[in-house]
Amino acid sequence: MSRLLVCPPDYFSIEYEINPWMRRSNAVNSDQAIRQWHHLMQVLEQDVGAVLERMKPVSGLPDLVFTANAGIVAGGKAVPSRFRYVERQKEEVYFADWFRGQGYEVVTLDPGSFFEGAGDLLGFPDIWFGGYRQRTDIRVYSILSDWFHREIIPLELVDSRFYHLDTCLCPLSGGELLYLEIVYGYSSASLLVRYENDPGRRRRPINDDDLRQDTSRRRVYCS
């Protein structure tokens, strides 16, 4: 059963622009966002069977709702994020306090060692993938690999539209790896091909045509 950290969008808005998708001119319909969020929570709890842990929203921190960026958790240990952009750095203390309140052993990275949580680090029980260059520093992955005793494959993100790894790579429950193939550096793309050749592994690339068809018709809110 999945256990997920969530945060209500009471204070969600677009107050700054820190990625190519954000536009302050795109006003958020707060009432609609709150209704949609509660409907999604209902689906996750009742239909999916997920256990939801709700943290309190904080005025002035509109992107606290993106809880995948809180940090990374495994084996009773939590490493809170170190955000690259100053606009999100005030979130760090709230995520760290939440982890401590839940009884996790909180281990912190040095200031300036940028790491944006499960937005950039995701994978399978035996192997993780770590996005770097846009938000997270590659150097943190050797540290996290030692702390969590996991192999971490670093993947360079070279397209600013896909600034977090979770915007372009998705591990599936059957061991498959769904990913957008145009956004990685050459050496990182080679690592993904090697992953495909590993017995029992499968990957599903998505090309640029798929991307244009999918994103041209919708408005995206993300941080």
Percent of the chain with pLDDT over 70: 87
pLDDT of residue 215: 47
Encode pLDDT of 45-60 as tens digits: 999 999 999 999 999 9
Output the pLDDT for position 208.
Answer: 61
User: What would the two tokens of residue 193 be?
Assistant: 């091909």
Task: Pick the closest to residue 165 from 176, 157, 177 (CA basis).
Answer: 157
Dist CA 12 CA 119 (whole Å)? 18
Model confidence at 222: pLDDT above 60: no
Q: Write the pLDDT tens digit of every residue in 166-210.
A: 999 999 988 888 888 888 888 888 788 777 666 556 656 666 665
pLDDT of 11 higher than 50 = yes
Residue 100: φ, ψ to 5°: -65, -40
| Position 220 confidence tier, pLDDT thresholds 50, 70, 90 | very low
What are the tens digits of pLDDT across the range 135-151?
Answer: 999 999 999 999 999 99
| pLDDT recorded at residue 176 | 85
Which element (helix H / strand E) includes 105? Answer: strand 105-106
Torsion, CA 8, CA 220, CA 59, CA 16, rounded to 10: 170
CA–CA separation, 59 vs 65, rounded Å? Answer: 11
Element (H, E) at 204: strand 202-206
Mean pLDDT of the chain: 90
How far apart CA 71 and CA 109 sit, in angstroms, is: 11
Cβ(89)–Cβ(96) under 8 Å? no
The band of 219, judged by pLDDT with boundaries at 50, 70 and 90, is very low
Domain segments of the chain as ranges: 3-215
Tell me what the mean pLDDT of segment 30-53 comes to.
97
Residue 221's pLDDT band (boundaries 50, 70, 90)? very low
- Domain 3-215 falls in which CATH fold? L-arginine/glycine Amidinotransferase; Chain A (3.75.10)
In the numeric block, the tokens 């059963």 are attached to 1
